[in-house]
Amino acid sequence: MLNQRRTLLRVAAYRRVARAWPGWMPRMSFAPYQSAPRGDVLVCVFLRGAADVLNMVVPHGEAAYYSARAALAIPRPDDPRARADLRAIDLDGFFGLHPALAPLWPAWQARQLAFVHACGAPDESRSHFQAMELMERGVDSAAGPASGWLGRHLGSLSTGTRSPLRAIGLGERVPRALLGPVPAAALRSIADFHLGGDARAAEQLRGALAALYAGGDPLDTLGREALGLAELIEQLDPLGYRPAADARYPEGDFGMGLRQLAMLIKAEVGLEVACLDMGGWDTHVAQGGSQGWMAGLLAELGAGLAALHADLAAQADRLLVVVMSEFGRRVEENGGLGTDHGHGSMLLLLGGGVVGGRVYGRWPGLAPEQLVGPGDLAVTTDYRDVLGEIVARRLNNPRLAEVFPGYTPRFLEVVHQRAAVAGSSHSRRSSP
Amino acid sequence: MPFTRRQFLTLSSVAGAAALLAGCRSPAELLAGLPPPAAWPSGRDPAWHALSRLTFGPRADERAHVAEIGLAAWIDEQLAPEQLDDRPADLRVRRFDILTMDSSLIFDVREANARRQLQQATLLRAVYSRRQLYELMVDFWSDHFSISTAKGDGAWLKPIDDRAVIRPHALGSFRDLLWASLHSPAMLQYLDNHANYRDAPNENYARELMELHTLGVQAGYTQGDVRELARCLTGWTVDQQLFRGQFRFDPAQHDDGAKQVLGLHIPAGGGQHDVEQVFEQLLAHPALPQQIARKLVRRFVADDPPPQLVAAVATTFTHTRGEIKAVLRTLLHAPEFATAPPKFKRPLHYLAGALRQLNANTNGGPPLLEALARMGQPLFMWPTPDGFPDATAAWSGGLLTRWQLALALATNALPGTSIDLDALMRAAGTREATGLLDRLGTLLLGAPLAPAVRGQVAGALAHTGDDRAAYVAALLAAPAYQWR
């Protein structure tokens, strides 16, 4: 019943798109995009402000964790003194999920969810801005290309798609990670993506804009892409989108963004990479433990990701979500019941291609002598090891030296090699 | 021939101050030498170029004024803003009581209302103030010492910071500006220094004070310096009780041990004076003039600041001990300023400029503030302490939201804001398509569109119901209008 309804909706979406298909794209209802050597749709969620990953995936097997965090620690899964719904949810006997991330439990059980703990960047500035910039550029230091790692991925791989929706950033502006030779669009809300005004005036203005943006300047290109995008999205009817019945997106920008991504993914508009930000993680003061400020953020994150996963159950084999943050936070809580800037962070991976149900990475430990800098979790896995593996194995891009110049990723085997697409006449399988 | 003198004068009078025009050099003379827009923006008229950079948008009356007194004299005027009668702007913002309320009253205002009043006043000043360079510097320092009103008590405390920290010192001395910011309750709270305790230091403010406000992340300070500066700043707090919102030094929370910051030994027992010593150390640090100069040159000249100009501006900063007017003089009279490549307008510049150049009548109300947010610049709500970005790449993805605004503005679809299309048409003196596009092009872009493009635009708009509005919308949406 559910599947039937989903299929109907997809067909309806196809019809709408087919009717409106601009000339620069092949007609997808007859020649789906899988015929190009295109990989997963990569959804990159960036937690801005350095999320406290030690309270997201809790090392409940570490006594040092509990001694450093008298107020903020998440109780052990078997802690009889804590209410059951406020304890960590055991993952593997050593790590546990923050209880607010409970909506992700089905994905963990389905082995489509994995974490890479003590993962991060070599940068030790503990500066949000420098760390975010370097991480989004995918480089070690200020030297190196100014473009973003995703921008270079898109620029170094031809998937045969010229869709203006190949790469989008949901938010006010294009994130640094997407900057590169392939124009990426910034969408605040998909439903807002039209010229407005009455239809006639908008139509006339469109004609004028086509003339004004006909030149060869980069801004002309951006203008033409925006026009194409507006035209396409007007046909998609974003306000009419209904997610799968068991998918409940949380209120707010994050849930709304994911919901719109799901619509674009189902509508097969050529989307390959989407970036989405979630802010508010700079929890220096009154961070809270199982409940409170950060728990609220985690609840929104968990519910949003779980809804996307449920909504795209039929497309799970080509969905890959990566959640990252610029660095982690100090192991020891501070006097304001918050945490200061630290070092080691974590990656969350969700999707059909993930070798899930595991926490990856060598755990460096939290005893004082095992910490780095002023008392921080060490980084034992470079984030580019994981992203590089995804780029090679899930996005079919073998040119890792261009995506991560000066760095050779070492794969942890966190994702399956993407299978060649059936029925494809010229699909390429890449080897790392 | 784009314009006759009479036509320009009429257009100018539409835009406001005909009295200023008496005796001015022929604007037609000024405009006649402009290159065709195909070559734009590489060789624009110096006055247009300077006004585009140093105001929120070259109003026709301001252009006429520059034509009369010359660019150098106009810059002198702008560097002495206290001499400029600013009643038009003052009267428009007088009704915002948040601008004068002190902290004993301000918390009674509803949070959203407090925030909106500051945003609205800021937009109105950008549009109507004659002290344009001053307002641009207020904008610059509001980014440099960025505070989000979405955090903590920011909606109430930032209006106080705006009038007690940013505005008094925007063209004054950097030393006074930094000193005022150090004591700003809004800043101390925004960067968590109110929770920086003797036994539990919080590093947030200490770090941003060095990284963003003074030295820059590459200046060579260490994590140890951050930690020690945080210790110096313990006890610098904001009252939460009786005198809510006021700065207070709490000796009981101050770590009075000896410290070592940036190589400086601070003996034990210094109390509140610890910070004074570090303050001098920061001001004397060679990285400070470099960092401020780089940001100013980026704002006024180019996304990639020319190193020689940065060096020259930094030298003036050092020699004058941070006198901002002197620093600006070096910058504005440098050849690199005159030949600077175009800068992509940030959304506030785009919106305020359109309102200025079209001589709009606006209350700066919520529809415009929401449009600003949609374009990516919700005033005083940038989430991180580094301020709204100042680079083309950060903004060029948002064209569609600008086009939406252009259409709404031109069709008078925004409540509280109106442009007088009839008056504009009368001033242009023609309703014939190419002539009208040329005159509006000169008003908005500094020069008419290239004939080929103009023909296509006129063709596309030939059958609109209200072609006057469509022409204005198309020019505001044009690529050339995105640059200043």
Q: Tell me the per-residue pLDDT of A241-269, one tens digit each, with 9 for 90 and over.
A: 899 988 999 999 999 999 999 998 988 88
More confident residue, B449 or A345: A345
Mean pLDDT, all residues of chain A? 85
pLDDT tens, residue by residue, B382-412:
877 889 989 887 787 788 889 999 999 999 9
Residue A138 and residue A145: Cα distance in Å, rounded? 9
Largest CA distance in chain A: 71
pLDDT over threshold 70, residue B242:
yes
- Taking the mean position of all CA atoms in its chain, how far away is CA A246? 21
- Nearest-Cα distance to chain A for B227, in Å, is 9
pLDDT over threshold 50, residue B8:
no
**Three-state SS letters, chain B:** CCCCHHHHHHHHHHCCCHHHHCCCCCHHHHHHCCCCCCCCCCCCCHHHHHHHHHCCCCCHHHHHHHHHHCHHHHHHHHCCHHHCCCHHHHHHHCCCHHHCCCHHHHCCCCHHHHHHHHHHHHHHHHHHCCCHHHHHHHHHHHHHCCCCCCCCCHHHHHHHHHHHHHHHHCCCEHHHHHHHHHCCHHHHHHCCHHHCECCECCCHHHHHHHHHHHCCCCCCCCHHHHHHHHHHCCCEEECCCCCCCCEEECHHHCCCCCEEECCEEECCCCCCHHHHHHHHHHHHCCHHHHHHHHHHHHHHCCCCCCHHHHHHHHHHHHHCCCEHHHHHHHHHCCHHHHCCCCCECCHHHHHHHHHHHCCCEECCCHHHHHHHHHCCCCCCCCCCCCCCCCCHHHHHHHHHHHHHHHHHHHCCCCCCEECCHHHHHHHHCCCCHHHHHHHHHHHHHCCCCCHHHHHHHHHHCCCCCCHHHHHHHHHHHCHHHHEC
Q: Is A228 left (phi over 0), alpha (psi -120 to 50) or beta?
A: alpha
| Best mean pLDDT range from A152-156, B191-195, B353-357 | B353-357
Pairing of strands A57-58, A319-325: unpaired
- For residue A67, the model assigns a pLDDT of 96
- For residue A222, the model assigns a pLDDT of 82
| Partner-chain contact A205 B384, CB within 8 Å | no
pLDDT over threshold 80, residue B15:
no
| Partner-chain contact A208 B457, CB within 8 Å | yes
Mean pLDDT, all residues of chain B? 88
The minimal CB distance from A336 to the residues B192, B404, B411 is found for: B192
Residues 48-77 of B with CB under 8 A from A: none
Confidence of residue A196 (pLDDT cuts 50, 70, 90): confident
List of chain A residues whose C-beta atoms are within 8 Å of the C-beta of residue B207? 126-127, 341
- For residue B428, the model assigns a pLDDT of 80
Within 10 angstroms of residue A278's Cβ, the number of other Cβ atoms is: 22
Residues 355-414 of A with CB under 8 A from B: 373-374
Residue A99 and residue B381: Cα distance in Å, rounded? 31
Residues 373-392 of B with CB under 8 A from A: 374, 376, 383-384, 386, 389
Contact with chain B for residue A122, Cβ under 8 A:
no
- For residue A9, the model assigns a pLDDT of 37
- Taking the mean position of all CA atoms in its chain, how far away is CA B375? 16
- For residue A420, the model assigns a pLDDT of 61
E strand or H helix at A365:
none
| Partner-chain contact A125 B407, CB within 8 Å | no
pLDDT over threshold 60, residue B288:
yes
Share of chain B above pLDDT 70, in %: 90
Confidence of residue A428 (pLDDT cuts 50, 70, 90): very low
- For residue A232, the model assigns a pLDDT of 79
Confidence of residue B16 (pLDDT cuts 50, 70, 90): very low
Residues A319/A271, Cβ–Cβ less than 8 Å? no
| Partner-chain contact B374 A192, CB within 8 Å | yes
Which of B403, B482, B483 to probe the A interface (max A CBs under 10 A)?
B403
Give the total residue count for chain A. 432
The minimal CB distance from A195 to the residues B203, B404, B449 is found for: B404
Contact with chain A for residue B240, Cβ under 8 A:
no
pLDDT tens, residue by residue, B123-178:
999 999 999 999 999 999 999 999 999 888 999 999 999 999 999 999 999 999 99
Burial B454-468 (b: 16+ CB within 10 A, else e): bebbbebbeebeebb
Burial A199-230 (b: 16+ CB within 10 A, else e): eebbebbebbbebbbebeeebeebbbbbbbbb
Tokens coding A309:
């996963």
pLDDT over threshold 50, residue A181:
yes
Q: Which chain A residue's Cα is nearest to B377?
A: A172
Residue A335 and residue A311: Cα distance in Å, rounded? 42
Residues A20/A410, Cβ–Cβ less than 8 Å? no
Q: What is the mean pLDDT of residues A160-185?
A: 77
- For residue A372, the model assigns a pLDDT of 96
- For residue A13, the model assigns a pLDDT of 38
Query: Which has the minimum average pLDDT: A23-37, A213-227, A294-308, A312-326?
Result: A23-37
- Paired residues of A169 in beta bridges: A186, A275
Q: What angle do CA B116, B120, B122 make, to 5 degrees?
A: 120
Residue A418 and residue A395: Cα distance in Å, rounded? 8
Taking Cα atoms as reference points, which of B452, B11, B397, B366 lies closest to residue A223?
B397
Contact with chain A for residue B394, Cβ under 8 A:
yes
Confidence of residue B258 (pLDDT cuts 50, 70, 90): very high
pLDDT tens, residue by residue, B56-111:
999 988 988 998 899 999 999 999 999 999 998 999 999 999 999 999 999 999 99
* Residue A22 buriedness (CB in 10 A; 0-12 / 13-18 / 19+): middle
Confidence of residue B285 (pLDDT cuts 50, 70, 90): very high
Locus of tokens 């580094």? B386
Overall pTM surpassing 0.90 (yes/no): no
Residue B79 and residue B61: Cα distance in Å, rounded? 19
Contact with chain A for residue B423, Cβ under 8 A:
no
pLDDT over threshold 70, residue B312:
yes
Confidence of residue B277 (pLDDT cuts 50, 70, 90): very high
Residue type, A215: G
| Partner-chain contact B461 A208, CB within 8 Å | yes
Residue B380 and residue A321: Cα distance in Å, rounded? 32
- For residue A37, the model assigns a pLDDT of 54
- For residue B177, the model assigns a pLDDT of 98
Confidence of residue A23 (pLDDT cuts 50, 70, 90): very low
The minimal CB distance from B479 to the residues A48, A202, A220 is found for: A220
pLDDT tens, residue by residue, A264-314:
898 888 899 999 999 999 999 999 999 999 999 999 999 999 999 999 999
Residue type, A201: A
- Nearest-Cα distance to chain A for B84, in Å, is 37
pLDDT over threshold 80, residue A208:
yes
| Partner-chain contact A126 B223, CB within 8 Å | yes
| Partner-chain contact B217 A125, CB within 8 Å | yes
List of chain A residues whose C-beta atoms are within 8 Å of the C-beta of residue B408? 196-197
List of chain B residues whose C-beta atoms are within 8 Å of the C-beta of residue A173? 376, 389, 394-395, 397-398
A169 — phi, psi (to 5°)?
-115, 120
Residues B238/B185, Cβ–Cβ less than 8 Å? yes
More confident residue, B84 or A9: B84
pLDDT tens, residue by residue, A323-378:
999 999 999 999 999 999 999 999 999 999 999 999 999 999 999 999 999 999 99
Task: Give the HSE-up count for residue A366: Cα atoms under 13 Å, Cβ half-sphere.
Answer: 22
Confidence of residue A132 (pLDDT cuts 50, 70, 90): very high
Confidence of residue A172 (pLDDT cuts 50, 70, 90): low
pLDDT over threshold 80, residue B375:
yes
Helix (H, G, I), strand (E, B) or coil at A425: coil
